[in-house]
């Protein structure tokens, strides 16, 4: 398969890339140094290049993230909103708009975002994060609607938080309770191919339960 991983240079992106590469799939990994996902024309050109070079896309795993919070609701910084709008919403818009036509033509495509439990229970200081993730979920559900009747699916995976080996090494006594290991996240993404596209299209798959 041909799998695009955005945010590929971080620990999560590396785990997901490794997961697909070890099974012989081709991973096109994108970090900020490769393509600025805030540049719509550059993302369109990326999709055109993938189509020229591979003809198809079988997976788009969108892993660009970021977090901002404030001590209280009243102290919320709208600069933080602007930051999260770009990271969590605008990059998703560019990537999904550019790759939807290729996903529609895929014989077994998956589009994945990773959202947070925070969307279900926004905290006073977490308004910008919860609202930005809620918007990215709604956007992804609209993509799912666009993919209805095709062989592709758009799916929201939900975690409380992610943990990787570097985090465990830095805090050896921390329990990271309820966290999802990035390798388990990768397996969950791979598992979406074990189910028919129609079954995972437009669902919110909670990895914390
Ligand atoms: N970490 C958590 O606890 C947690 C909780 C809930 C949901 N999630 C979601 O899970 C996913 C992975 O999380 P994460 O913590 O591994 O993500 P992250 O480290 O916050 O972001 C992943 C990568 O996104 C890249 N990026 C940022 N802006 C970009 C741009 N304009 N163009 C291209 N690349 C850009 C960065 O690449 P460079 O390094 O090249 O700048 C970064 O390595 C994210 O969608 C996040 O929202 C994470």
- Report helix, strand or coil for 132: helix
178: which 2 tokens? 């309820």
C-alpha–C-alpha distance, residues 79 and 81, integer Å: 5
pTM over 0.95: yes
Give 132-184 pLDDT, tens digit per residue.
999 999 999 999 999 999 999 999 999 999 999 999 999 999 999 999 999 99
- In 10 A of CB 36, how many CB atoms? 13
**37 CB less than 6 Å from ligand 1?**
yes
Structural domain count of the chain: 1
**64 CB less than 6 Å from ligand 1?**
yes
Give 11-23 pLDDT, tens digit per residue.
999 999 999 999 9
Q: What domain range is 123 assigned to?
A: 2-206
C-alpha–C-alpha distance, residues 128 and 165, integer Å: 28
C-alpha–C-alpha distance, residues 112 and 106, integer Å: 15
Residues linked to residue 6 through DSSP beta bridges, in sequence order: 30, 62
**114 CB less than 6 Å from ligand 1?**
yes
* CATH number reported for the structural domain that contains residue 25 in this entry: 3.40.50.720
Q: Which of 19, 43, 46, 65 to mutate to test the pocket of ligand 1 (most atoms within 8 A of CB)?
A: 65
209 pLDDT band, cuts 50/70/90, is confident
Give 30-69 pLDDT, tens digit per residue.
999 999 999 999 999 999 999 999 999 999 999 999 999 9
CA distances from 25 to 18, 54, 188 (A): 10, 12, 16
Please answer whether residues 131 and 88 qualify as being in contact, where contact means their C-beta atoms are separated by less than 8 angstroms.
no
Question: If you ran DSSP here, which 8-state letter would residue 85 be given?
Answer: I
What does the radius of gyration of the chain's CA atoms come to, in whole angstroms? 17
Give 112-123 pLDDT, tens digit per residue.
999 999 999 999
């Amino acid at each position: 398969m041909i799998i695009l991983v955005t945010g590929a240079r971080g620990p999560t992106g590396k785990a997901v890339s490794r997961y697909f590469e070890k099974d012989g799939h081709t991973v096109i990994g994108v970090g900020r140094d490769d393509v600025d996902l805030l540049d719509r024309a550059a993302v369109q050109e990326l999709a055109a290049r993938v189509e020229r070079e591979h003809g198809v896309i079988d997976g788009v795993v969108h892993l660009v993230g970021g977090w901002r919070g404030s001590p209280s609701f009243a102290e919320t910084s709208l600069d933080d909103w602007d930051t999260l709008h770009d990271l969590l919403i605008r990059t998703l818009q560019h990537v999904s708009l550019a790759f939807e036509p290729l996903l529609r033509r895929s014989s077994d495509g998956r589009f994945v975002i990773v959202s947070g439990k925070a969307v279900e229970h926004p905290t006073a200081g977490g308004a910008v994060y919860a609202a930005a993730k809620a918007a990215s979920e709604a956007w992804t559900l609209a993509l799912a609607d666009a993919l209805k009747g095709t062989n592709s699916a758009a799916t929201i995976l939900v975690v409380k938080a992610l943990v990787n080996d570097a985090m465990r090494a830095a805090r050896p006594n921390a329990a990271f309770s309820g966290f999802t290991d990035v390798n388990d996240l990768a397996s969950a993404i791979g598992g979406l191919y074990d189910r028919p596209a129609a079954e995972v299209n437009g669902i919110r798959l909670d990895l914390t339960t």
